[in-house]
Amino acid sequence: MKSVLVVFTGGTIGSKAEGNSINVEGTGSYYLLQAYSESGGARDDVSLETLQPLNLLSENITPADWLTLASAIRQTDLKPYSGVIITHGSDTFAYTAALFSYLFSDTGIPIVFTAGNYPIGDKRSNGLRNLSGAIDFIADADIPGVFAVYENNRSEVQVFLGTRIGQNESFTDQFRAPYDLVYGEVGDRKFKWNNHWRNPAPELLRSRVDSKVLKQATGNLHTPSSLHKLLEDGNRLKLEDAVMYIKPYPGLRYDLYQWAENGYKPAAILHDLHHSGTACALEEGPYSLPAFIRRCREQQIDVYLCPIKDAGDTLYASSHKLTEAGGIWVENMSIEATLTKMMLAYGAYGSSQNRQAAKSLVLNEILFYEKLPLQE
């Protein structure tokens, strides 16, 4: 008999609908397990235990809530468990999965995030199937690491690496992965790995405790244990909430972003890009990203540019202007993985005390396969 710890945080999968309102008040989370046990498809070789450190709609989650959740898991003796399932709202699901991939990259068991598109009592909900898929993945695959499990609109229960899942799409309620490359699928209670050169093999994830294997597999990589040594004292774990995220659009005025040079200002900025790795590159004026980057550099604010496949490849002239202005390219990583990594890095090293160390962690240190390889 395998034992799985189910950690409730609220969200749609742990909510109930009353009239035209959906909320997490009451016992919606535990209703999920009741529905699973009464579904007729519950496994008899897996027992479930529960923990509920949070109960909120995921759009309301803050860095303090992330720390509460991480602390609750760290303080739990995980030795009796074959895996952990974290139920979470879909709105900020991808950000939490990415962050916890970093914080728990040293885990010896699978930690699996799952969600639902509607409350469990709604016939349209995939929440129960997602929970079943997460349980089956843990029971069958036995792969350590952080993952996400969610059913797509073709009734395929997909498995994502925690650092390789993008935000849920507004009109389809679908999660996507970079290159549309999921890690695998769960069907008939079995996990099937998606054998692709960008996907680390299950054997590699099982061997992560061996730093030599890690270095051979991913190149110049600091082992997960070094990050966790830095953060082993829970009181030292800080997430920098002064990281700013900007998404480009025609007419974006950078002169709207003002802060006193010696006052409260961003620790770092993550600037999104159009699909071709571009943003407005006028030399001067209120719409100029190069001018904005130069202003930020004068105020010791790092500006990261993401996503882009390969900044060393042939780029548009506008992209070269961003480089010349001092923009910092983040290659082959998703926005969600980059943003949470920046919050972790600048929180760990301090936004002003050791910016170079924070920058090195973001760009050079691979924690849990967040950086996709460019070639086989």
Active-site residue flag, 68? no
Q: Which of 9, 12, 163, 223 is catalytic?
A: 12
Torsion sign across C-alpha atoms 198, 113, 367, 326: positive
Q: What is the 3-state secondary structure (H, E, C) of the chain?
A: CEEEEEEECECHHHCEEECCEEECCCCHHHHHHHHHHCCCCCCCCEEEEEECCCCECHHHCCHHHHHHHHHHHHCCCCCCCCEEEEECCCCCHHHHHHHHHHHCCCCCCEEEEECCCCCCCCCCCCHHHHHHHHHHHHHHHCCCEEEEEEECCCCCEEEEECCCCCCCCCCCCCCCCHHHCCCEEEECCEEEECCCCCCCCHHHHHCCCCHHHHHHHHCCCCCHHHHHHHCCCHHHCCCCCCEEEECCCCCCCHHHCCCCCCCCCCCEEEECCCCCCCCCCCCCCCCCHHHHHHHHHHCCCEEEEEEECCCCCCCCHHHHHHHHHCCEEEECCCHHHHHHHHHHHHHHHCCCCCHHHHHHHHHHCCCCCCCCCCCC
Query: Mind telling me the catalytic residues?
Result: 12
